Structure 1
């Protein structure tokens, strides 16, 4: 997880998970629409997951 991805996850969460697949983008987008904090948390969790 690079510094730029983390910074992007804080500023605009859906854009930071673009390389992780369509499902991840949709989940993070929906959570960001519900609230900025849930979107940031979901993006950081997805970025920190080494399996994907």
Structure 2
């Protein structure tokens, strides 16, 4: 469980929408993360880490 979370966070730093998609599928969290990443990379990364750690 801890290793999976670590891998998700590392992925969220480089490709933010990918770990959100892997964990939640094509739900609103993924689409919001994708939208934030497309506009500005940093907000998408912060949102992805927030979603994956809460």
Task: Report TM bin, short chain.
Answer: 0.7 to 0.9
Q: Structure 2: where are the runs of 5+ without partners?
A: none
Q: Structure 1: where are the runs of 5+ without partners?
A: none
Q: What secondary structure is seen at the aligned counterpart in 1 of 2:11?
A: helix
2:47 equivalent to 1:31: no
Could you tell me which residue of structure 1 aligns to residue 52 of structure 2? 47
Q: Give structure 1 regions of 4+ aligned residues with deviation exceeding 4 angstroms.
A: none
Q: Aligned equivalents of 2:16 and 2:7: distance in 1? A: 12
Could you tell me which residue of structure 2 aligns to residue 20 of structure 1? 24
Q: What secondary structure is seen at the aligned counterpart in 2 of 1:7?
A: helix
Say what the alpha-carbon RMSD is for the aligned residues.
1.2
The count of residues paired between Structure 1 and Structure 2 equals: 49
Moved more, 36-45 or 14-23: 14-23
Could you tell me which residue of structure 2 aligns to residue 10 of structure 1? 13
